[in-house]
Amino acid sequence: MIHILFLFSFLLSTSSHASVVDFCVADLKSTENPTGYPCKSPVTVDDFVFSNFRAGNTSNFFKASLTPAFVDQFPGVNGLGFSAARMDIEAGGIVPMHSHPGASELLIMVQGRITAGFISSDNSVFVKTLAKGDVMVFPQGLMHFQLNAGKGRATAFLTFSSPNPGAQLLDLALFGNNLDSAIVGKTTFLDIAQVKKLKAVFGGRG
């Protein structure tokens, strides 16, 4: 009987802390905090609709584009625990090694062929060439990549387990900074000339 009373009191306690708010559309004029943005008021149906899920500009070094529907672009996902993006990769294009420190990623193939993979914390490699209708998951925080494995444009829709998944691109982290080239060379086992060449490509200095 005591156990039942304890369980009942526990349920009452936890339910009293449950959210009574249906949603919390982000007030982008405020400052984001660890739990997201404060709620804005009033809201309209347009806060729950994202109308720019179109191909981005792929005329860049990677021949790829990402159209994000994260909280900063889509305030309606604030506090809901997910977001989305569209990825387009031209023939010969690539999304190089990167990670999302704040979310796992689900890739849903829409057209073309993409070879995608990730590396686990024990350095095991998981790689697969995906076609339309395939879905692949990339666990949170792990380094992963995507490259076009076909002859035409490849498109995938992405979902993330956070309204703001964050991203760190390995090449930019290594060669897009102002860390002294000699230190970068020592830590990457590359010669300084190669480091400086890559820094010129990715906008680094030093």
Say yes or no to pLDDT of 10 above 90: no
Say yes or no to pLDDT of 110 above 70: yes
Which residues face 126 on adjacent strands?
A: 118
Residue 138 — φ and ψ, nearest 5°?
Answer: -120, 110
Say yes or no to pLDDT of 2 above 60: no
51-83 pLDDT, tens per residue? 989 999 999 999 999 999 999 999 999 999 999
201 pLDDT band, cuts 50/70/90, is confident
Cα(131)–Cα(123) distance, integer angstroms: 25
Q: Report pLDDT for 13.
A: 46
What SS3 class is residue 84? strand
Cα(120)–Cα(45) distance, integer angstroms: 41
Q: Give the chain's mean pLDDT.
A: 90
Mean pLDDT of 183-188: 90
Which position has the token pair 């689900």? 106
In Å, what is the CA distance from 71 to each residue of 56, 145, 164, 181, 188?
A: 18, 23, 6, 36, 35
